[in-house]
Amino acid sequence: MEVKELPPPYSTAARRWWSKETVAVVTGGNKGIGFAVVKKLAEQGLTVVLTARDVGRGKQAVETLRCRFGLDNVTFLQLDVSDPCSVEAFASRFRQDFGLLDILVNNAAVSFNEIHSNSVKHAETVMRTNFYGPKLLIEALLPFFRRSPSSIPRIFNLSSRLGSLTRVRNPRLKAILEAEALTEEQIEEEVVRKFLTEVKEGTWEGTGWPAHWTDYAVSKLALNAYSRVLARRLRAAEGKLMISVNCFCPGFTQTSMTGGRGTHSAGDAAEHAVALALLPPDLLTTGKFYVAFAAAAPAVNSKI
């Protein structure tokens, strides 16, 4: 995917294309960046569906948004993206309660490593949550995206520069992922299943995978690649841009995943994310990888 550096967030009010009938789904919305994205989307007047694995935490997050911030346009629906049955149940409930979808923000993700550790003990869970989860949810919700001449539905996958092709040290794998004709089957076979097989065999360290937070990085490598292939598929299927698919790296953000470390807050990251998610239709792209806070992170002129 082509890397795009985000400019500072700008006011979207002058180019407002949405209303309270515009529906956004945010996964993993009970804390961190997800919660901040839900809050900022709700403040813009959209109808927002906050999802979380834990029912109690999800309901508490919605209660906080309603009582503390006066945002009554947020609804909670339970969703565990790592569980195909939960994804299926969520899609059925969403169809029943809302019917149409305009924005999907795939934020839910896990990592079991401390900042400077690199265990792959939970690699299957990481892959199931960070790659298969968003993929299953996207495919389940595709039929519900609103087709309107005045707006373009958008899929927005939170990812990471840890999944950049520049982090891949295996020339064969890099060549596969760089190919214009890359397929979803190749992503699953050559990236996800191959990595998990090598983890089980104990050979993963010598085969050129990303060196830092390896299981998390590989899950985002696969998600980036899938996003690019999906963007191509959706454009080809319609002959023009009907559903936008982009990735976004929030940078080194202060969340529970980073143990509270980082160069900026979840609110800062969400400000960039929401500005991108609400781009006017004429400025909307597809198949891109956007980065924020580049000055505090590795260079962004790499290929995703």
CA distance 42 to 215: 33
Q: Is 10 a catalytic residue?
A: no
The span from the first CA to the last CA of the chain, in angstroms, equals 4
Q: Which of 111, 212, 228, 98 is nearest to 166 (CA)?
A: 212
**What stretches of 109-183 show up as alpha helix (H) in DSSP?**
123-127, 133-141, 171-178
Q: Which of 48, 20, 12 is nearest to 61 (CA)?
A: 48
How many residues would you count in the chain? 304
246, 157 in Cβ contact below 8 A? Answer: yes
Helix 84-97 vs helix 133-141: crossing angle, to nearest 10: 30
CA-to-CA dists, residue 91 to 51, 84, 88, angstroms:
12, 11, 5
Q: Which of 214, 190, 39 is nearest to 119 (CA)?
A: 214
Question: Which residue type is seen at 275?
Answer: A
Cβ contacts of 232 within 8 Å, gap of 6 or more = 287
CA distance 184 to 147: 25
Per annotation, catalytic residue among 10, 132, 216, 290: 216
CB contact burial 267-279 (16+ within 10 A = b; e otherwise): ebbbbbbbbbbbb
Q: Phi first, then psi: what are they for 112, rounded to 5°?
A: -110, 15
Residues with catalytic annotation?
Answer: 216
